[in-house]
Amino acid sequence: MIYNLKAKKKIYPALIILMIFCAVFTTSCRTISTKSYEISSPLINKGNSIIILLISDLHSSIHGKEQASLIKKIVAINPDLIILSGDVFDSTYPMYGVELLLAGISGIAPIYFVTGNHEYWSGNIHKIRDILLSHGVIILSDSYLVIEVNNNKLVLAGIEDPDREFFDNRLYNQRDSMEKAFRELDFLPAYKILIAHRPENIKVYREFSFDLVLSGHTHGGQVRFLFINGLYARNQGLFPKYAGGIYTHDNMTHIISRGLSLNYPRFPRIFNSPELVVIRLE
């Protein structure tokens, strides 16, 4: 039998490269990363910083046995506030993954929630609200709270997903509801945060006096590669402008989480790991 050694020498490097690519691809789809941002503002007292944890687009995914991987990371971050910016529940997958998460993080810090489209698509919005309330989660429904965190005065506001109009209240209009709920904040001297699931509506959010907007929805564009920040996002299409990361609009900062979903959409994440976002205000 005659062996072709030259052919083998060509095949082996190709196999090694393929194996490395598959390993990186698999890891990028499953392993939770932590993305950190620091924001400075004269409205935050010197020496009294605030750590905000942004959780978005879990889609009822389970990370590790009974959410152990995710809960462990959250405990290590030790945030002052935990924000759930929509699509934490999924319209198809069971709610069990969210219940595991809430049971594991309740008591770490105050938790605030706004709806995403999937909470409405599920057809179980009332049950979802009951689950959240049973775990002490504060639901912000076109409403705001003035809170004190580490001797800092904050306004924390949240808006309903626009799909409320189609699944819960045919008369609902997000822009009109924001005008009624938040216009009075224009002259309030405090650092103002808006939680809004959909980043593509930033033009509307900019009409108000918020300093920071926290969003999700895009899943990071699902695919990232080299210069491509995201390949596709719902409501934005190919190469979305607001795929994930930090954006500045005059005096407003906009942070978009790439989300934690392993379930939805069915197309896998590629070089786009599930993400926890940590924001340090100082």
Q: What is the mean pLDDT of residues 95-101?
A: 97
pLDDT, position 268: 86
Question: What are the E-state strand segments in 61-161?
Answer: 81-84, 111-113, 138-139, 143-149, 152-158
pLDDT value, residue 27: 52
Q: What is the pLDDT of residue 227?
A: 83
CA dihedral 104, 280, 141, 98 (to 10 degrees): -20
- The arithmetic mean of pLDDT across residues 96-117, rounded, is 97
Structure tokens given for 107: 């008591």
Tell me, what's the pLDDT at 226? 80
**Region 209-213 average pLDDT:** 98
Q: Which residue has the higher pLDDT, 171 or 10?
A: 171
* pLDDT tops 80 at residue 36: yes
Q: Give me the domains of the chain, ranges plus CATH numbers.
A: 5-281 (3.60.21.10)
Residue 156 tokens read as 């924390």
Per-residue pLDDT reduced to its tens digit, 67-95: 999 999 999 999 999 999 999 999 999 99
pLDDT digits (tens, 9 = 90+) for 185-200: 999 999 999 999 999 9
Q: Where are the beta strands (DSSP E) in 77-223?
A: 81-84, 111-113, 138-139, 143-149, 152-158, 191-195, 212-215
Residue 4 has pLDDT above 70, yes or no: no
149 and 176 in contact (C-beta within 8 Å)? no
pLDDT higher than 60, residue 55 = yes
The answer to whether residues 170 and 145 touch, using CB atoms and an 8 Å cutoff, is no
Contact 271, 224 (CB under 8 A): yes
What is the pLDDT, as a whole number, of residue 28? Answer: 56
Residue 254 has pLDDT above 50, yes or no: yes
Confidence check: pLDDT of 22 > 50: no
Q: What is the pLDDT of residue 2?
A: 52
Could you tell me the two tokens for 220?
């990071």
- Calpha distance 270→89 (Å, rounded): 22
In angstroms, the CA 219 to CA 263 distance is 11
User: Mean pLDDT lowest for which of 8-12, 105-109, 160-164, 265-269?
Assistant: 8-12
**At residue 1, does pLDDT exceed 80?**
no
What pLDDT digit, counting tens, does each position of 108-155 carry? Answer: 999 999 999 999 999 999 999 999 999 999 999 999 999 999 999 999
**What pLDDT is attached to residue 102?**
98
Span 225-233, average pLDDT: 89
What is the mean pLDDT of the segment spanning 243-271?
A: 93
**Distance between CA 37 and CA 277 in Å, rounded?**
8
In 3D space, the residue among 73, 131, 65, 140 whose CA is nearest the CA of residue 102 turns out to be 131
